[in-house]
Amino acid sequence: MGKIENYGKLKKFVLNEGMALFGVADIEQVKNDFQLPAEIAAKHTAGISLGFRLSGSVLETLSNAPNQIYYFHYQRTNLLLDHAALKLTALIQSKGYSALPVPASQVIHWEKQLGTVNHREIARLAGLGWYGRSNLLVTPDYGSQVRLATVLTDMPLKFDSPLKAGCGSCEACVAACPSGAISRDNFNLQLCREKLKDFMKTEKIGQMICGLCVRACKGKKQ
The 10s digit of each residue's pLDDT in 4-45 is 999 999 999 999 999 999 999 999 999 988 888 899 999 999
pLDDT-based confidence at residue 114 (cuts at 50, 70, 90)? low
- pLDDT at residue 105, as a whole number: 80
Q: Taking 80 as the threshold, does the pLDDT of residue 65 lie above it?
A: yes
Average pLDDT over every residue of 79-91: 98
pLDDT tens digits for range 154-182: 999 999 999 998 999 999 999 999 999 99
Provide the residue type at 122 as one letter.
Answer: I
Average pLDDT over every residue of 127-133: 97
Q: Are the CB atoms for 52 and 147 separated by under 8 Å? A: yes
Quote the CA–CA distance of 65 and 169 in Å, as a whole number.
Answer: 25
Q: Which of 210, 149, 155 is nearest to 18 (CA)?
A: 149
User: What's the predicted TM-score (pTM) here?
Assistant: 0.93
Q: What separation in angstroms does the CA of 180 have from each of 96, 113, 124, 144, 168?
A: 49, 18, 25, 18, 20
Q: Taking 70 as the threshold, does the pLDDT of residue 47 lie above it?
A: yes
- pLDDT at residue 107, as a whole number: 67
Percent over 70 (pLDDT), the chain: 95
How many Cβ atoms are within 10 Å of 43's Cβ, its own excluded? 12
Provide the residue type at 212 as one letter.
Answer: L
- pLDDT at residue 219, as a whole number: 84
Quote the CA–CA distance of 78 and 85 in Å, as a whole number.
Answer: 10
Provide the residue type at 9 as one letter.
Answer: K
- pLDDT at residue 108, as a whole number: 63
- pLDDT at residue 220, as a whole number: 77
Average pLDDT over every residue of 214-219: 94
Percent over 90 (pLDDT), the chain: 83
- pLDDT at residue 222, as a whole number: 64
pLDDT-based confidence at residue 204 (cuts at 50, 70, 90)? confident
Average pLDDT, the chain: 93
pLDDT-based confidence at residue 206 (cuts at 50, 70, 90)? confident
Q: Nearest 10 degrees: CA dihedral of 107, 21, 55, 119?
A: 10
Weakest mean pLDDT among 58-62, 175-179, 204-208: 204-208
Q: Are the CB atoms for 66 and 210 separated by under 8 Å? A: yes
